[in-house]
Amino acid sequence: MLRFVLLALVTGLLVAQTQPPPKSSPQQAEQPPEGSQPIRVSVENVLAPVLVLDRSGTFVSGLRPDQFRLFDNNKEQNIQVDETFVPISLVILVQANARVEKILPQVTKIGNLIKPFIVGDQGEAAVIAFDSRIRTMQEFTSDSEKITAAVKKLAYGSTPSHLIDAVDDGVRMLRTRGKDRRRIMLVIGETRDYGSEGRGRETLINLQVNNVDVYWVDMSHLLGTLTSGPPDPRPDNLPPAMHSMPGIVPATPTTVMQTYGTEGNSAEFIPLMVEIFRDAKNIFKTSPAVLFTRGTGGTQFGFYKQHGLEDAIQQIGERLHSQYLVSYNPNNKEEGGWHQITVDIIGKDYKTQTRPGYWLAAK
């Protein structure tokens, strides 16, 4: 009997070993490796805040809706220009890691400036602090005292700075706000990311799809002043093209302009945006601060001392409250890829500043 049982077990094992492995379903076999899946983006309504300036650089107010013309990939769009004030939902992201220990006490003093200068009586704000963690210090509130208290509670933490992850969290908070509100993100921190899991390209797409404008107050200048050694007494008279560029990027006039300055909707900035969305380099060639601000039509400011931070917040408020809100439902959604936005003022020699465009997946 025992010999029979052993024979049966051996036979069963041999049969099991000769069975072919289970075939994966066609759906499983065709899945691309993680991280290489194409991004699918659909756009129903595009919001393009427009700042209009005269030849002297002064903000122009009082324009009529019929004076605006907007082009999406050179195709004129049927637009709506909002003439009434649209309440603001603001997320404030503050870098609170060990690198900014000396600066943070200055940042904690600006809480009482947010309501009068930026969000106003009808607006609301939330506060996020980030180092290696993303901490929500205050959910959305219109109570200026709660905003001030949340900013005062900021304390520095670990060395990493998960900037991109923090921006992702800010987008998640803002997209819960109604379409009848403007979605603004104010980042107070350095311009580089140290340790995020998220990828900047996807973050930029989410910012654009959710109509979030990013404004940045850069800590880097003041941080360098407080932590650097004695300055080099020799003046730096070299032109920008003779300075080193990120990675192995050649210092051509175009790449220098892309790296060292131009408005977000300028022609020089568009090639860099296209490269980012095509993921040709698979990495930022310039800082997230530059791409997030220029890619959404926002602005980047620096500060060297306390009143510089206050001035930056005041200037951000002035820009926000001087913009015309132009919205439209694109009539060329079948065109995949980069959609460039340009705005003209009929009959006037005015300069306009708006978001440079957005990315749309091909149907």
Tens digit of pLDDT at every position of the chain (363 positions)? 545 444 454 455 444 444 444 444 444 433 433 443 444 455 679 999 999 999 999 999 999 999 999 999 999 999 999 978 899 999 999 999 998 888 898 899 999 999 999 999 999 999 999 999 999 999 999 999 999 999 999 999 999 999 999 999 999 999 999 988 999 999 999 998 988 988 888 899 999 999 999 999 998 756 655 554 444 444 444 444 444 444 434 444 434 443 444 444 555 677 777 777 766 554 455 688 988 999 999 999 987 776 888 999 999 999 999 999 999 999 999 998 889 999 999 999 999 999 999 988 766
Q: So what's the pLDDT on residue 71?
A: 97
Q: So what's the pLDDT on residue 249?
A: 41
Token pair of 324, please?
A: 């015309």
Residue type, position 228, single letter: S
Q: Is 263 left (phi over 0), alpha (psi -120 to 50) or beta?
A: beta
What span, in angstroms and rounded, lies between the C-alpha atoms of 3 and 225? 86
β partners of residue 186: 92, 215
Q: So what's the pLDDT on residue 26?
A: 40
Residue type, position 28, single letter: Q
Q: So what's the pLDDT on residue 273?
A: 75
CB 283 within 8 A of CB 250: no
pTM given for the model: 0.77
Token pair of 172, please?
A: 């998640």
Report the candidate in 111, 212, 136 with the shortest Cα–Cα distance to residue 171. Answer: 212
Q: Quickly tell me which residue has 């933490």 as its tokens.
A: 157
Q: Quickly tell me which residue has 């500060």 as its tokens.
A: 303
Assign 3-state DSSP to the chain and report helix, strand, coil percentages, each to 5: 35, 25, 40
133: number of Cβ within 10 Å: 14
Strand ordering across the sheet containing 357-360:
75-76, 68-72, 337-345, 357-360
Q: Quick one: DSSP state of residue 266? A: S
Burial of 229 (0-12, 13-18, 19+ CB in 10 A): exposed
